[in-house]
Amino acid sequence: MPPWPGTPYPLGATYDGVGTNFALFSEVAEYVELCLIDEHGEEERVRLPEVDGFVHHGYLLGVGPGQRYGYRVHGPYDPARGLRCNPDKLLIDPYAKAITGDVDWDESLFGYPFGAPDERNDADSAAHVPRSLVVSPFFDWADDRPPRTPYHETVIYEAHLRGLTMRHPAVPPRLRGTYAGLAHPAVVEHLKQLGVTAIELMPVHQFITDHGLAQKGLRNYWGYNTIGFFAPHEAYAAFPEAAGQVQEFKGMVRSLHEADIEVILDVVYNHTAEGNHLGPTLSLRGIDNQAYYRLADDEPKYYLDYTGTGNSLNVRNPHTLQLIMDSLRYWVTEMHVDGFRFDLAATLAREFYDVDRLSTFFDLVQQDPTVSRVKLIAEPWDVGPGGYQVGNFPPLWTEWNGKFRDTVRDFWRGESATLGEFASRITGSSDLYQDDGRRPFASINFVTAHDGFTLADLVSYNEKHNEANGEDGRDGADDNRSWNCGAEGPTEDPEILALRERQRRNLIGTLLLSQGVPMLLHGDELGRTQLGNNNAYCQDNELSWVDWSMVDGNAELVDFVGRVADFRRRHPVFRRRRFFAGKPIRKSDELRDIAWLTPSGEEMKEQNWDDGFGKSIVVFLNGEGIPDLDQRGMRVVDDSFLMAFNAHYEDIELVLPSADYGPRWTVMIDTATGEVADEPNGPGLRAGDSMNLPARSLVVLQRAPEAA
């Protein structure tokens, strides 16, 4: 049966229960062939009959879920001018809701970089590329509701879906490394034990392993090599038959929502897996190269690269912006995700050359009634000129705060003269976010993330050890701001091991008790190590996977993380919605909402901030000075606390401040011992008393009621 005209919108393959509408944008195409592919790889080619607004479209009765398909785009081929149409390339639908198969690297995938039309590689690529799939949009969401956890109550857990579950003994073998595995009750219960309210998944859009890694026998593990912005990665599905990855992903989200855990996706809209002018033609390059990619103004039109991957998407083009926005809306409305973390987000702001915080992309997000209501997190840098943009994103956005990471690492490894910046970072980084009207929760605080050392390696290695990556140690960051505590790598020295455990508690305690949104890295609570590899992007093996057999040996750290997270949850003074003002709460009271003290109990003076020693400080947090209202409109009131930090290698004497701050104090958290109290107990300490503040430790004291 010949195709019906169909409609130009929505783009992609849309099944309605009777047939499927196919629609593909290409401004340069002369005509487009839809290729229907059977289980033997045989093609039936159908020319899309209609074109409206550069969208080629047609409707095929009887074509339904599970149908494999691709496109062949007929049009001009002149790479020097940025034109790369080639009907010998079977192309993935940019709007495919599911994709099956992987790239089988073959010469037919590549063309001459700037050759004339008669020099192009005309070998058919169909046998070597993935296929798009028609999917069913129907799913029983039951009574699924998004948790909508406020930012100031959020605790994020960054995780690799495969790596988190591949070695979990309670997860059935077939479910390990899959969406269904992540939804397993044993995994969910662990997240709940840690106080996690949102899991931030490393890329789950369909991605491929690039040619260079494949030649080395390695795989792209992290997934920052997207080829399908609407498709859940097929390899993460336990039951991928008939596009089952879509149903399985939805089931995972539904299960996590039932546990009040949000799902945030790490998304890569800055580039694709097609690489530079020497890369393969898999999708956008062969559909409309000039529209989708940033090209040089002069000929030959090389790809402009702000990502370090060979290409950058052309966010100046309205159809590229439409692709991104349609993808975001799809994941919110159809897949029920709760937010996005944008990889190399500064690239999306490069309309021309400079990074523009008011670029069209951010305007579209701000105005979109769907996307603007979910969590939006920027990785606020790229590799282009002026690409480090921490603190410069629009008010709707939160940001990975790389300055928090660097400062907290420096403080706890004993770097001098970091007090002033450390104070700013643990109180919400007002220097970065207050001027444009944002709140402390604009800062996504982290000490470790997928890119870099794990927490255990951060306190065990001075240098990276990336030999397994096959790049002779050239890859990965050199500035790790780490300290091995006296020995490089594994050791049996009990003093060094004890110090490393304390340092891990210091870093996690600081992270969870700082103003802003804390983000934990998966497995840090279990002592996960990558043996000093700080760039395990290609290590899809036991080097990167979470080793759940370490639970018993790290039970105390798991308990510490959960108890400190619960302590934070119960005390809103550690998760304020507004910045500290440094002013008295009431006119009749000189006690401010925050005060900085020396270990001797005196208020910090200007010269104290400039002290080169700079390894210890005390901060008073006034629980009566929280300028927030609860859901009933009542003013939020909490207890008051002292947080005493000592990054020095020796114990120091801590003198409690005068009775103006509080008559009695009780130790609630002590990273030297790992103890976390649920409630104040015992006689406590009086104002003016002295106590020992152990070397390299964080102690939190709670003020007792006036009547005590």
d(C-alpha 482, C-alpha 462), whole Å: 6
Active-site amino acid positions: 343, 379
Q: Residue 198: beta bridge partners? A: 156, 262
Kindly state the DSSP code that residue 337 receives in the 8-state scheme.
-
Residues 194-205 as b or e (16 or more Cβ within 10 Å = b): bbbbbbbbbbbb
Residue 300: cis peptide before it, omega within 30 degrees of 0: yes
The closest alpha carbon to 497, from 469, 456, 447, belongs to 456
d(C-alpha 702, C-alpha 656), whole Å: 12
Contacts of 667 (CB under 8 A, 6+ apart): 675, 677, 684, 685, 699, 700, 701
Q: Are 260 and 199 in contact (CB under 8 A)?
A: no
Contacts of 459 (CB under 8 A, 6+ apart): 482, 483, 484, 485, 499, 500, 503, 504, 507
Q: Are 307 and 271 in contact (CB under 8 A)?
A: yes
What is the end-to-end Cα distance of the chain in Å, rounded?
A: 86
Q: Are 60 and 20 in contact (CB under 8 A)?
A: yes
d(C-alpha 214, C-alpha 265), whole Å: 26
Ramachandran class of 54: left when φ > 0, alpha when ψ lies in -120 to 50, beta otherwise: left
**Does residue 153 sit in helix, strand or coil?**
helix
Q: Token pair of 194, please? A: 């840690």
Q: Are 484 and 457 in contact (CB under 8 A)?
A: no
The 3-state secondary structure of 420-485, one letter per residue: HHHHHHHCCCHHHHCCCCCCHHHEEEECCCCCCCCHHHHCCCCCCCCHHHCCCCCCCCCCCCCCCC
